[in-house]
């Protein structure tokens, strides 16, 4: 009681109810006498209201009408309201019978007052509930409400208790971007019936047809009691629809801790970043991509394909997709046509090491902008095949850079990696050599710049897809070392950074994103297990396998001698190399020295001389410390 008296909302609710009680009691007299209340009965109203008002308010308090929150008024609250109204009216009638035996009072007034009190007090609470209700919160009335076209159209499998609770939560919660269009249930008795005005549209067998007819964007499986065979049938039907689907665990499982509440949705890689996703300035990008011919190498890979998806939004004159992988190139070509309607693209199946073919591509298409994303990136594999790092990373990059300069490309962006900083592996050293080659080509009319970033979650070779596969198999999840840490970013974020680099770069810069705090891989594995609804070290074990060849505990983004300079974007930094050209005096001398070293690398790679390649990489990148690792040949 004392706690309630201290709350401001309690007094507001009390005053509102007092006003409604006054209105209902006066209206009862008004209705009884058809709007012409005799003076005697008006005096009765004035003499009795002074004690009837506190009696009603006390009954309201006694039956808990001030304990709940009006926005969540339920059937239970309405039941308590009926009890409070009947009890207060009974007390009023009893008092009048004992004191004056109802002499001079119209008995029908108190019956009318009972009904009016319930309608006004209950109606007020119901009105507030409707105000906060999702269906009413836009325009107040459902038939005046504009259609929420931005909401995802959702189909719920299971027209039982779990399905009804799911519908109620989605309807009551304005922050959830869903609109339920119907239910699916195998119970024939439920067909063509409805739950909260949402119809049961068919059974599981008809799911693909129902989903197509109702333009369903997503499916929720709300059948927590389904056995294994039933669930496999439902999942098979969901896959046939071609739309995303989620499953709803039983409430008992959540309460018992067997399933985490976060398992109610798909795992979002952004949850694992350890920082907010960085949004970049797309207006700057628009200026140099619109109506331009843009070439993307490695277009079938995870980074290259996402670059293509983002570039087509800026309406280039033509998008040239180049890759040595036939399946990857075909997939992105089909996606651009079907998803974006982009027909202005050319898909070229080519090996960048083929200098004559690359020269013909540049001569024929005359690109204005080049994004060089093609590379081998798998660290342990390149430790065992170091000649492929030389051929595919260094030789291919040098070939594409030379052709960009020769054909007057306006902007050239090299996609690099944080592993190029003080590299401990062949892959990182090869990418650092690519950065040096780019620096040696400066001053020839083409703006050439590089961009470094950390691990891209979800990309090919990333640990996240591997962890998800291991979790789906029931574990264990394998982590190389308890202390290994990495910087992470999403694929769209990485590609926006690449595009932004082309807008900001004047030539010679190495751009990096302010990556925040590096994330421990072991912690990320545990988070991913929890987000998948499992208990780390209990349901899914984590096994430490030891660092792989060429792998290091900590990654860096800046190497010795590089100074950080702010750019126009507060989250993007630019690194300026020192002006000593690695001790060779000027760019020309440095370029000649580097060209000789790279030619030596090519000869060693042609002979598959793994030891010689590592030694030469150390000569070109002194901070690289070669590790003796067995090669496949």
Please give the positions annotated as active site. 419
Cα–Cα dist 81/64, whole Å: 9
Cα–Cα dist 36/550, whole Å: 97
**Residues ≥6 apart with Cβ < 8 Å to 367:** 293, 294, 295, 320, 407, 409
**Residues ≥6 apart with Cβ < 8 Å to 198:** 167, 180, 181, 182, 183
DSSP 243-295: S-EEE---HHHHHTTSS-GGGGSPPPGGGGSSSPPPP--HHHHHHHHTT-EEE
Element of type H or E holding 89 = helix 75-100
Residues 542, 545, 547, 551, Cα dihedral to 10°: -70
Cα–Cα dist 390/397, whole Å: 10
| Residue 554: how many other CB atoms lie within 10 Å | 11
Cα–Cα dist 103/110, whole Å: 14
CA-CA distances (angstroms) from residue 139 to 135, 145, 148, 468? 9, 5, 12, 43
Cα–Cα dist 419/113, whole Å: 80
Beta bridge partners of 411: 369, 447
Question: What are the φ and ψ backbone dihedral angles of 452, each rounded to 5 degrees?
Answer: -110, 140
| Residue 452: how many other CB atoms lie within 10 Å | 28
Beta bridge partners of 156: 183, 220
Residues 600, 606, 611, 613, Cα dihedral to 10°: 40
CA-CA distances (angstroms) from residue 185 to 121, 158, 573? 39, 5, 55
């Amino acid at each position: 009681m004392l706690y309630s008296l201290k709350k401001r909302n309690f007094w507001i609710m009390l005053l509102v109810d007092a006003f409604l009680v006054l209105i209902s009691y006066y209206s009862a007299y008004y209705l009884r006498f058809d709007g012409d209340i005799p003076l005697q009965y008006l005096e009765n109203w004035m003499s009795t209201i002074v004690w009837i008002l506190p009696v009603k308010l006390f009954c309201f308090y006694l039956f808990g009408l001030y304990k709940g929150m009006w926005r969540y008024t339920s059937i239970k609250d309405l039941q308590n309201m009926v009890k409070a109204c009947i009890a207060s009216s009974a007390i009023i009638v009893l008092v009048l019978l004992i004191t004056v035996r109802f002499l001079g009072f119209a008995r029908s007034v108190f019956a009318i007052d009972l009904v009016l009190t319930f309608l006004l007090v209950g109606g007020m609470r119901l009105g507030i509930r409707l105000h906060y209700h999702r269906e009413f919160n836009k325009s107040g009335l459902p038939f005046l409400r504009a259609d929420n076209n931005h909401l995802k159209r959702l189909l719920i499998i299971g027209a039982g208790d779990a399905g009804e609770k799911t519908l109620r939560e989605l309807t009551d919660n304005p922050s959830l971007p869903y609109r339920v269009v119907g239910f699916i249930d195998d119970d024939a008795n439920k067909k063509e019936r409805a739950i909260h005005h949402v119809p049961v549209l068919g059974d599981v067998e008809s799911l693909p047809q129902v989903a197509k007819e109702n333009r369903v964007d997503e499916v929720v499986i709300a059948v927590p009691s389904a056995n294994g065979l039933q669930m496999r049938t439902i999942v098979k039907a969901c896959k046939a629809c071609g739309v995303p689907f989620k499953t709803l665990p039983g409430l008992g499982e959540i309460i018992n801790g067997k399933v985490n509440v976060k398992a109610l949705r798909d795992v979002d890689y952004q949850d694992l970043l350890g920082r907010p996703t960085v949004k970049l300035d797309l207006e700057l990008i628009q200026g140099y991509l619109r109506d331009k011919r843009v070439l993307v190498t490695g277009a079938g890979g995870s980074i290259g394909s996402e670059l293509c998806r983002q570039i087509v939004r800026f309406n280039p004159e033509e998008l040239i997709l180049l890759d040595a992988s036939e399946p990857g190139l075909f997939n992105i070509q089909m996606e651009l046509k079907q998803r974006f309607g982009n027909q202005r693209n050319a898909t070229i199946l080519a090996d960048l090491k083929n200098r004559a073919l690359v020269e013909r591509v540049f001569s024929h298409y005359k690109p204005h902008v080049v994004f060089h994303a093609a590379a081998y990136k798998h660290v342990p594999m390149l430790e065992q095949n170091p000649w492929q790092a030389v051929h595919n990373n260094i030789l291919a990059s040098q070939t594409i850079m030379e052709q960009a300069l020769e054909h007057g490309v306006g902007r050239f962006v090299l996609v690099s990696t944080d592993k190029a900083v003080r590299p401990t592996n062949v892959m990182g050293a090869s990418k650092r050599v690519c950065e040096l080659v780019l620096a040696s080509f400066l001053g020839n009319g083409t703006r050439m710049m590089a961009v470094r970033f950390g691990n891209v979650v979800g990309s090919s070779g990333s640990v996240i897809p591997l962890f998800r596969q291991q979790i789906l198999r029931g574990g264990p999840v394998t982590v190389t070392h308890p202390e290994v840490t990495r910087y992470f970013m999403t694929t769209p974020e990485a590609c926006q950074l690449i595009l932004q680099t082309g807008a900001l770069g004047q030539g010679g810069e190495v751009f990096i994103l302010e990556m925040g705090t590096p994330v421990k891989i072991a912690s990320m594995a545990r988070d991913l297990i929890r987000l998948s609804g499992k208990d780390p070290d209990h349901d899914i074990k984590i096994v430490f396998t030891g660092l792989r060849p060429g792998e290091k505990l900590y990654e860096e983004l800046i190497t010795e001698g590089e100074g950080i300079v702010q750019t126009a974007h507060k989250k993007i930094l630019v690194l300026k190399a020192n002006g000593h050209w690695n001790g060779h005096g000027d760019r020309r001398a440095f370029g000649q020295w580097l060209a000789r070293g790279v030619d030596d690398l090519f000869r060693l790679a042609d002979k598959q001389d793994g030891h010689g390649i590592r030694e030469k990489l150390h000569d070109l990148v002194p901070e690289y410390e070669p590790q003796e690792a067995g090669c496949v040949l």
